[in-house]
Structure 1
Amino acid sequence: MLHLQLSRNGALFCGQFALSLMQTIFMFYYVKVFLNIYHISEYWFNLAQILYMFWNAVNDPLFGYLQDFGRPWMRNRNWMFLLFGPFLVLSFVSLWFPWGVDPNNSMPQGLHLICSLFLYDAFYSCLSVAWGAMFAETSKDHKKRVQAMKYSQLAILLSVSSIGITEKLSKNLVSFHIFQYITVLIAILASIFLYFTGKSRNTSMTKYKLEGEDSLCPEKEPEMGFKQMFTLTRQIFGSSNFRAIALTSFLHTCRSVAHLNFASIALDLLIPKTIFPNGSWKRSFFMTLSALGPQIIIIVSEKLIVRFGTSRSMIFSFKISILSSLLYFFRTSPTMILTFMLIDSVTVHSFAPLFNILLSEFIAEDANNHSRSKYLSSFVFSINSFIIKPAQSLAPILIVTYLNGSGYQDYLKKTIAPSSIHFTEISQSMANILFIIPLVVGTIQYLVFRKYQVQVQSVASENFLLKV
């Protein structure tokens, strides 16, 4: 079989680039497309999000269980990308071609959203769990994990540039057919990099060996039943560190979803068209800057993160989020709003990748504490996803309901003029969402994450050994 001569970091780069390329467009545009282009009703939108939330609760633990305890082909991280990559790409494309747009009947749009969310999330969850396990298993050293994270962020840096290009070429979705062409091109590019990941050499530590000893993994692993799975789940949730990571990650996902899904809508409502006309280079540049800035910062901060540690870096980001929210008192200034959006983008998206390092360190800690014969990489990442994925549904439901309570749907139907007092109410609601979420959520994150105790910073440097 032909294998590409990709390094460990090269495989992580290709997988992250493909996943991030599609996920960036998905998170940034799907809410706006279904609200502003397809004109889905609030009822069908909320119904789809609720069903989506329950589906998330099922598929992530399922994929984690199968990829750690299923048949050998399910435990092959590279094979996952080859097998499920094409299905992920097709489900991504299906989002952007409407089943029907009827202002008087939202059922086609509702069914379209439900089916597309179910399919896209299932395949994305499968591959993201595989990528997370690949990240955790390729090295036990903290410094090397930070280096791998840098390659991951470089992939994200390249992928998020698609936002500025898409904004410019589609004129903020005014030329929707151009947007559709772009999504097809993105799907083709993602397919190529998913294939590269699948064909790269398998560098995961499928068998952990101590110096001078045989593999800790038996050649043939015993079958894992659901009773044992629940026991493992209870052990994982029993860790105060895991609870701190998972809850903080859930809150971070709420912030990330709110920022990605509603950043474009915030610009529409809070920044005058005289400053940012639709399709202007100014608007495109700002969106590109807010997307690229966080990735550049995390890439150049590699040595600082290694020096100060992942947990201290996270605490620092929460403090910045709380302090930056004070710009709320200057919300009438477009310049202050844009400044805050850039700061918020950095504090959310620059530090989100650090959760991969925290989870990887917890996986090593868990294996040591419970004398595991191997790392439960996929299982731990899927349990974490089980907790954080509901945020992807809850945040849009709450925000859309709040906006519609201020008349946002009437604004979309052009029954509210931008110069009317009702539009001022909508703008005020959007400003509340923009500033208050980082303040409240950032404060809770700070209080929760203070309970995190650093136990594994560098497995290699501490002569960390797995026991049988």
Structure 2
Amino acid sequence: MLAYCACTLGFTMLSSVFSFYYVKVFLNYFMIEESWFQFAQLLYLTWNTINDPLFAYVQDTTNFSFTKTRRESILYTAPLFSLSFLITWFPWAKGTWVTGLHLITALCLYDTMFTYIGLAYCCLFTEISTDSKVRLQLTQWSQIARLIGSSSIFICEFTSESLKSFSSFQYTCIGIGIIAALFMTYAGLYAHTEHDVKLKKNSSDQHAMHDKSLDKSMWRLTWQVLTDRNFLSFVIANFCQLFQRTFMGNFVAIICDELIPDEFLSPSWRKVFYGSFNFLNTLLVIVGVPLIQSIGYASVIKWSFIWKIGAGIFMLFLGKEYLSIMMLYILFDQIFAGAAFALFGLPLSDIADHDKNKYKRSHPISSIIYGTNALVTKPAQSLSPMLTVAILNRYGYKEHTAGTLPEEGALMLKDAIFVLMCIYSITLGIIQILSWSMFVIRPKSKKEIEIELTI
């Protein structure tokens, strides 16, 4: 469990910085053309569609040295993940086709490593224990690690003066990449699961290791997962959650820069405000574990969707003139969305347990379930910035960054940014609450698990 938390720490350090900065860096500093930005996101979306089920099938059904266990999958690819992260921040050119090629390369390399390690990391959560209380405890501990890892945004904000000193930002990213690789390597050495131990004990008995339920093609196994009602309910809600989190993660700095003037929020407090998002949503999960145990994660997730709809409607009708309330809205929107997303490993693990029992597998096909989830939901990471950039540029954002947008156009741009922020919350929340109502799996207690094992 300690090794799992070490992986959480390293993984969060890289993913937090990447998702928070890459859009702003390429739009405002590398001056990428919109056509190249959209093309890069389209290729990114396509590669996302291919690599998730592919890597999932490889991890669950092959026995290479780098796929034997979840631990080894992390061990061999951790340094490559850090390297793919660093490639993003060193420009090949500015404002040319080379910049577009740079973004394509950075996104695809980063996502390759992110997906491969991410699948192994998520499967560790599912396979360390099937007891819902242990999983919730592991969620709590990993959130503490995530809390520490999310400080990478704080560090980057203060060392680079909110990207004003880009060279300082680059040096900081190098340090973050090295430290993250070390933590993930530690996880790769010591993150054992019960299934790993079982495989080691049965290594001399090939028949004992064989699972006939896996004598199927990747497509057949994926189809078994996709046709499950609970899985479909979950991935629809997860797609919407990832769409909104990507939007807020990539554009919150742009939103606040445009809607909240420096006279109201000074640059120093702005850094604290940006850096507090991941900190507070993680803290909420840590202190909220007793409530989650009491009412269940399903109810907590459902109420986060209800809040999203109500808060979005309230803010839309109130207007953007109330800056203090708008800041609170942005803050709580980030906190609740992030906290709910942190719990999504629990229903996905229950889906993996349900699939194992349904098809009488010797062990859960966790990678395929997580990979199929990513197959459906990860396109949101490309669609969200693609759609948002297209909308903002229709209202003159590109001209605004170049300083050629007239004052009247700038006011229309601010209105568009505000309305878009509220409409996303309302629309996605409605879809999520309808979808989540179809999710019926409930986690088993330790006593129920012991009874099943006895029988």
Q: Same fold (TM over 0.5)?
A: yes
**Matched residue SS, 2:195:** coil
Matched AA of 2:435:
V
After TM superposition, the structure 1 stretch with the greater mean CA deviation from structure 2, 321-330 or 298-307, is 321-330
C-alpha offsets along residues 122-152 of structure 1, whole Å, 9 cap, x if unaligned?
Answer: 0110000000111100001001000011112
Q: 1:11 aligns with which of 3, 10, 21?
A: 3
Cα deviations by residue, 1:7-64 (Å, 9 ceiling, x for unpaired): xx21111111111110000100000000000010110000000010010011111111
Matches within 5 A, 1:176-191: 176-191=166-181
Superposed counterparts of 1:161-240, under 5 Å:
161-206=151-196, 218-221=207-210, 227-240=216-229
The corresponding residue for 1:43 is 35
RMSD: 2.1
Rounded Cα–Cα distance in structure 2 between residues aligned with 1:171 and 1:194: 28
Cα distance, 1:303 vs structure 2: 1.3
Deviation at 1:228, TM superposition (A): 3.2
| Counterpart code for 1:89 | S
Mapped contact 1:363–1:375 kept (Cα < 8 A): yes
What is the one-letter code of the residue matched to 1:327?
A: M
Counterpart selection for 1:22 from 7, 11, 14: 14
How far apart are residue 378 of structure 1 and its match?
Answer: 1.0
Percent identity of paired positions between Structure 1 and Structure 2: 31
**Counterpart in the other structure of 1:246:** 235
Equivalent residue, structure 2, for 1:403: 392
Give the 3-state SS of the residue equivalent to 2:217 in structure 1.
Answer: helix
Amino acid at match of 2:282: Q
- Between stretches 451-460 and 427-436, larger displacement belongs to 451-460
| Higher mean C-alpha deviation, range 190-199 or range 280-289 | 280-289
Q: 1:293 to 1:66 in 2, by over 3 A?
A: same
Q: Structure 1 pair 176/223, CA: closer, same or farther in 2 (3 Å)?
A: farther
User: Counterpart in 2 of 1:437?
Assistant: 424
The partner residue of 1:421 within 404, 408, 417 is 408
Gaps of 5+ in 2: 200-204
Residue 322 of structure 1: which of 309, 316, 323 is its match? 309
Q: 1: CA distance between counterparts of 2:297 and 2:230?
A: 13
Determine helix, strand or coil for the equivalent of 2:210: coil
Aligned to 1:355: 344
Residue 293 of structure 2: which of 294, 306, 329 is its match?
306
In the alignment, structure 1 residue 284 sits paired with structure 2 residue 276: no
**Partners of 2:236 and 2:442 in 1: CA distance:** 19
Residue 338 (structure 1) aligns with: 327
- Counterpart in the other structure of 1:66: 58
* Higher helix proportion (structure 1 or 2): 2
Deviates more, 1:159-168 or 1:403-412: 159-168
Given that 1:52 and 1:114 are in contact with CA atoms closer than 8 Å, whether structure 2 keeps it comes out as yes
The CA deviation at 1:223 is 8.5
Bigger CA drift: 110-119 or 366-375? 366-375
Distance in 1 of aligned mates of 2:414 and 2:104:
29
How far 1:220 moved relative to its partner?
A: 3.4
Name the aligned partner's letter for residue 344 of structure 2: F
Distance 1:21 1:424, change over 3 A: same
Indicate if the aligned counterparts of 2:211 and 2:362 stay in contact, CA closer than 8 A.
no
Q: Secondary structure at the match of 1:319?
A: helix
Q: Give the Å deviation of 1:182.
A: 1.1
Q: Aligned pair 1:257/2:250, yes or no?
A: no
1:394-437: CA deviation from partner (whole Å, max 9, x where unpaired): 000000000000000001111126xx111111111110121111
Change (3 A) 1:200 1:355: same
Q: Give the match for residue 120 of structure 2.
A: 130
How many residues are matched? 447
State how far apart, in whole Å, the 1-side matches of 2:182 and 2:244 are.
Answer: 31
CA-CA distance at 1:460 after TM superposition = 4.6
Name the structure 1 match of 2:371: 382
| Contact 1:141–1:461 (CA under 8 A) maintained in structure 2 | no
Q: Are the equivalent residues in 2 in contact too, given 1:364–1:456 (CA < 8 A)?
A: no
Kindly state the Cα deviation for residue 227 of structure 1 after the two structures are TM-superposed.
4.6
The question of whether the paired residues in 2 share the 8 Å contact of 1:141 and 1:458 is answered with: yes
Aligned mates of 2:59, 2:447 — CA distance in 1: 26
Distance 2:80 2:166 in 1: 24
From 154, 168, 174, the counterpart of 2:144: 154
Distance (Å, rounded) in 1 between the aligned partners of 2:206 and 2:301? 34
Contact 1:406 1:426 in 2 (8 A): yes
- Once residues 434 and 217 of structure 1 are traced to their aligned partners in structure 2, the CA distance between those partners, rounded to angstroms, is 55
- Separation of aligned partners in 2, 1:131 and 1:227: 24
Q: Does structure 2 conserve the Cα–Cα contact (< 8 Å) formed by 1:140 and 1:460?
A: no
Q: Partner of 1:75: helix, strand, or coil? A: coil
**Counterpart Cα distance in 2 of 1:423 and 1:185:** 38
User: For structure 1, which runs of at least 5 residues remain unmatched after alignment?
Assistant: 1-8, 210-215
Structure 2 CA distance, aligned partners of 1:217 and 1:241?
34
TM-score, with length taken from structure 1: 0.91
**Of 66, 69, 77, the match for 1:76:** 69
How many Å apart are 1:295 and its aligned residue?
0.5
Q: Is the contact made by 2:84 and 2:109 (CA closer than 8 Å) also made in structure 1?
A: yes
User: Does the C-alpha gap of structure 1 residues 201 and 217 become closer, same or farther in structure 2, counting only changes over 3 Å?
Assistant: farther
Displacement of 1:466: 7.6
Closer, same or farther: CA 207–217 of 1 in aligned 2, 3 Å: farther
Give the 3-state SS of the residue equivalent to 2:123 in structure 1. helix
- Does the aligned pair in 1 maintain the 2:350–2:441 contact within 8 Å? no
| Match in the other structure for 2:358 | 369
- With structure 2 as the length reference, what TM-score do the two structures score? 0.94
CA-CA distance at 1:169 after TM superposition: 2.6
Distance of aligned partners of 1:262 and 1:393 in 2 relative to their CA distance in 1, 3 Å threshold: same
